[in-house]
Amino acid sequence: MSDTPDHPTSPLTHFDAQGQAHMVDVGAKAATHRVAVATGHIEMQPETLALIESGTAKKGDVLGIARIAGIMAAKKTSDLIPLCHPLALTRVAIEFEAASAHIPGATGIFCSATVETVGPTGVEMEALTAVQIALLTIYDMCKAADRGMVVRDVRVREKRGGKSGDYSIA
């Protein structure tokens, strides 16, 4: 894709002028403190939530294992997403709450991942990956009790740092 009136440059940064996929060059960008927060939830039957909350799930501490899985996933994002840069993360925090605290009437677990680095590129993908894998781990550990669980609404809630500025949704 060339930068002509007929073919304007794409706003998608992972494509070069010829339309070929490439890893974005961040070498000239300033290293700044960057933070991203992503959230999502997994809906489940009330009985499944009770198993998790009581700590009596057959496979053990569901939320403890899911927290570790989310942290590991954030660290491995560049191995999973082809054009992500490998980053030196300075912090990954995974938090869980009852979904009903955020979504009236929902039964399940709400997950929030906060990821930080000091570097030339953001950590939104790492935060999103952490949430997805944490929630998938909950599914994996509880699927014998509830195969109908649904992962929903995984999104970036907040981003701070970098040239494009801050971003936040309510």
Active site residues: 140
Maximal CA-CA distance, the chain: 63
Return phi, psi of residue 25, to 5°: -80, 115
Torsion of CA 54, 109, 61, 136, to 10 degrees: 150
Which residue in 137, 146, 144, 150 sits closest to 96, CA to CA?
137
Burial of residue 85 (CB within 10 Å: 0-12, 13-18, 19+) is middle
* Cβ atoms < 10 Å from Cβ of 102: 13
Which residue in 71, 68, 70, 153 sits closest to 108, CA to CA?
153
